C-alpha cells in the first residue's frame, strides 16, 4: 500500500514487531496486525468483508482513498492509500493518477481535491460530513469584510466552502498558516474564519495586525487550560501537544502546537514516554497502533463529522459511485487560484 503522508516513513521505520505480527485464524491477518490494539478480534470478523470488498473495488474502479489523520484506525491503517493532514491531502490530490478519489474525511477536503484535480471523480461516503468552521462563514460575509477593510488581504482557512475560498486572496491550513500570513508582507491581514487559529498565528507574528472572524472548531474549542493543568498534575512529565484550532490559552499551556501531521511527526521523532494530543481522539489511536511503547493520555474529543466515515459507507461509495463532489463552475477557477497560491508558499 502506498502511504505518502509526511509521517509515514517515520512511522514505518518505528513500527514495533509485535504490532505488525500477523494474527493467524482471522481473515486478512496482516492487516489485522496493524489495528489489533484498537479493534477486538470479534469486531474484525465483521469488518473484514467490507475491507476485502473495498480492496477489490479500488482495483476495479481504479480508485484511491485519501484519508485524513482523524479517520478511525480500521480505515487509516487498512484501506487508505494516502493519509495526512489537510495540507498533505491537498498536495497529494494534485498528483493522483487514478480515475476516482474517495475522500475519507470531511466535505471541504473532498471539494479541495476536486478543485485541484478537476478531471477526477471525487466521492465522499457521506455528504453530511461537514465542519463547524466551514459553516461559520458565507461568501456574502467575505464580500462584506472586503468592503469593510479595502486593501487588506484575506487569508482563508481551507476548512471552508469553495464559495468562500473564491472570495479570498489565498488559503492556509494549520500546517502553513504562519508562513502564508508572513508571505504577504502586509501590515494587516484578515484571517478567517477560525478565530483561535488566527490568534495563535498572531502570537507568532506580533509585527502583523491580524483581524479575525468568530468561527470555532466545535471539537477543539471545548478544551480548557484547566484540562492541561489537570493532566500535568496527574502525569508529571507528560508531553502536551495541542492543535492550533484550540483556544490560545490552551496552546500556551502546551509544549508544542502544530497541524495533525506536525503533531504526529513530533511524537515519532521525540518519542515521549507519555503524551497527550489535545485534538481528535483517532490521532492518538492511529499513532498508538504502530507505537505501543508510547502511552497516550486523555483528554481528546471526537469530531462527529469525521466519524461519519465508516468501512461500510466507503464500500458503498465505491459500489454505487456516490456521493460525487462537484464545484460550481462559476466559482471553481477563483477558488482553485486561492488554494494554488497557498501551495506555492513553502
Ligand atoms: P489538519 O490540517 O491539521 O489536519 O487539521 C484539519 C482539521 O480539520 C483539524 O480539526
Ligand atoms: Fe471541522 Fe473541527 Fe471536525 Fe476539524 S475537527 S473537521 S475543524 S469540526
- Please, which pLDDT band fits residue 250 given cuts at 50, 70 and 90? very high
Residue partners of 73: CB distance under 8 A and separation at least 6: 34, 35, 38, 39, 282, 285, 286, 289
CB distance 327 to 157 below 8 Å: no
Please determine, for residue 27, whether its predicted confidence score (pLDDT) is greater than 70.
yes
Residue carrying the nine cell digits 494530543: 277
CA-CA distance, 188 to 15, in Å (whole number)?
45
Tell me, in angstroms, the distance from the centre of ligand 2 to residue 223's CA. 14
Which of 129, 243, 307 to mutate for ligand 1's pocket (most ligand atoms within 8 Å of CB)? 243
Q: What pLDDT sits at residue 6?
A: 30
Q: Average the pLDDT over 78-103 and give the result.
A: 98
The chain-wide mean pLDDT, for the chain, equals: 94
Q: What pLDDT sits at residue 23?
A: 65
Please determine, for residue 22, whether its predicted confidence score (pLDDT) is greater than 50.
yes
Q: Whose CA is nearest to atom 3 of ligand 2?
A: 303
**201: region left, alpha or beta (phi > 0 left; psi from -120 to 50 alpha):** alpha
DSSP secondary structure string for all residues of 132-173? TTGGG--HHHHHHHHHHSTT--EEEESSS-HHHHHTSSEEE-
Please determine, for residue 19, whether its predicted confidence score (pLDDT) is greater than 80.
no
- Please, which pLDDT band fits residue 122 given cuts at 50, 70 and 90? very high
CA-CA distance, 2 to 18, in Å (whole number)?
22
- Please, which pLDDT band fits residue 7 given cuts at 50, 70 and 90? very low
DSSP letter assigned to residue 123? E
Alpha-carbon distance values, 167 to 48, 137, 153, 161, 163 (Å): 44, 11, 11, 10, 7
Q: What pLDDT sits at residue 261?
A: 98
Alpha-carbon distance values, 287 to 2, 17, 236, 343 (Å): 17, 15, 22, 27
**Which amino acids bring their CB within 6 angstroms of ligand 2?**
106, 131-133, 159, 217-219, 245, 280, 303, 305-306
Per-residue model confidence as pLDDT tens digits over 221-238: 999 999 999 999 999 999
Which of 107, 112, 220 to mutate for ligand 2's pocket (most ligand atoms within 8 Å of CB)? 220
CA-CA distance, 47 to 75, in Å (whole number)?
10
Q: What angle do CA 16, 18, 19 make, to 5 degrees?
A: 70
CATH fold for the domain made of 15-129+307-320: Rossmann fold (3.40.50)
For residue 229, is the peptide bond before it cis, meaning its omega torsion is within 30 degrees of 0?
no
Q: What pLDDT sits at residue 1?
A: 28
Q: Whose CA is nearest to atom 8 of ligand 1?
A: 159
Per-residue model confidence as pLDDT tens digits over 323-335: 999 999 999 999 9
Q: What pLDDT sits at residue 10?
A: 30
- Atom of ligand 1 at shortest range from CA of 173: 2
Q: What pLDDT sits at residue 21?
A: 62
Residue 87: in which H helix or E strand, if any?
Answer: helix 86-95
Q: What pLDDT sits at residue 15?
A: 31
Q: What pLDDT sits at residue 14?
A: 27
Any ligand 1 atom below 6 A from CB of 286: no
Please determine, for residue 24, whether its predicted confidence score (pLDDT) is greater than 90.
no
Q: Average the pLDDT over 147-165 and give the result.
A: 98
Per-residue model confidence as pLDDT tens digits over 30-48: 999 999 999 999 999 999 9
Segments making up each domain of the chain, as ranges: 15-129+307-320
Which ligand number lies closest to the CA of residue 216?
Answer: 2
Q: Average the pLDDT over 64-74 and give the result.
A: 98
Percentage of the chain lying above the pLDDT 90 cut: 92
Q: What pLDDT sits at residue 13?
A: 26
Q: What pLDDT sits at residue 43?
A: 95
pTM, two decimals, is 0.94
Determine phi and psi for 147, rounding to 5 degrees.
-70, -35
Amino acid at each position: 500500500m502506498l502511504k505518502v503522508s509526511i509521517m509515514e516513513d517515520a512511522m514505518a521505520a518505528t513500527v514495533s514487531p509485535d504490532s505488525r505480527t500477523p494474527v493467524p485464524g482471522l481473515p486478512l491477518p496482516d492487516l489485522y496486525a496493524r489495528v489489533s490494539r484498537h479493534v477486538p478480534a470479534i469486531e474484525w470478523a465483521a469488518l473484514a468483508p467490507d475491507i476485502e470488498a473495498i480492496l477489490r473495488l479500488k482495483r476495479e474502479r481504479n480508485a484511491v482513498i485519501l484519508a485524513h489523520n482523524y479517520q478511525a484506525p480500521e480505515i487509516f491503517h487498512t484501506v487508505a492509500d494516502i493519509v495526512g493532514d489537510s495540507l498533505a491531502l491537498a498536495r497529494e490530490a494534485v498528483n493522483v493518477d487514478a480515475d476516482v478519489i474517495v475522500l475519507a474525511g470531511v466535505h471541504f477536503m473532498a471539494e479541495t481535491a476536486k478543485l485541484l484535480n478537476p478531471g477526477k471523480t471525487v466521492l465522499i461516503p457521506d455528504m453530511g460530513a461537514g465542519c463547524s468552521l466551514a459553516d461559520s462563514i458565507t461568501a456574502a460575509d467575505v464580500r462584506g469584510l472586503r468592503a469593510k477593510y479595502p486593501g487588506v488581504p484575506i487569508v482563508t482557512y481551507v476548512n471552508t466552502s469553495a464559495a468562500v475560498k473564491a472570495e479570498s486572496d489565498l488559503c492556509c491550513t494549520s500546517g502553513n498558516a504562519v508562513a502564508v500570513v508572513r508571505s504577504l508582507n502586509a501590515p494587516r491581514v484578515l484571517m478567517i474564519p477560525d478565530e483561535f487559529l488566527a490568534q495563535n498565528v498572531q502570537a507568532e507574528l506580533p509585527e502583523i495586525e491580524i483581524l479575525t472572524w468568530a468561527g470555532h472548531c466545535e471539537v477543539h474549542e471545548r478544551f480548557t487550560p484547566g484540562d492541561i493543568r489537570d493532566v500535568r498534575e496527574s502525569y508529571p512529565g507528560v508531553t502536551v501537544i495541542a492543535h492550533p484550532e484550540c483556544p490560545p490559552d490552551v496552546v500556551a499551556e502546551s509544549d508544542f502546537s502544530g497541524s495533525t501531521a506536525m503533531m504526529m511527526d513530533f511524537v515519532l521523532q521525540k518519542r515521549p514516554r507519555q503524551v497527550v494530543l489535545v485534538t481528535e481522539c483517532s490521532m492518538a489511536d492511529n499513532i498508538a497502533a504502530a507505537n505501543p511503547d508510547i502511552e497516550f493520555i486523555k483528554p481528546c474529543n471526537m469530531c462527529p463529522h469525521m466519524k461519519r466515515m465508516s468501512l461500510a459507507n466507503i464500500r458503498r461509495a465505491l459500489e454505487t459511485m456516490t456521493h460525487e463532489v462537484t464545484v460550481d463552475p462559476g466559482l471553481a477557477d477563483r477558488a482553485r487560484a486561492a488554494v494554488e497560491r497557498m501551495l506555492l508558499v513553502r
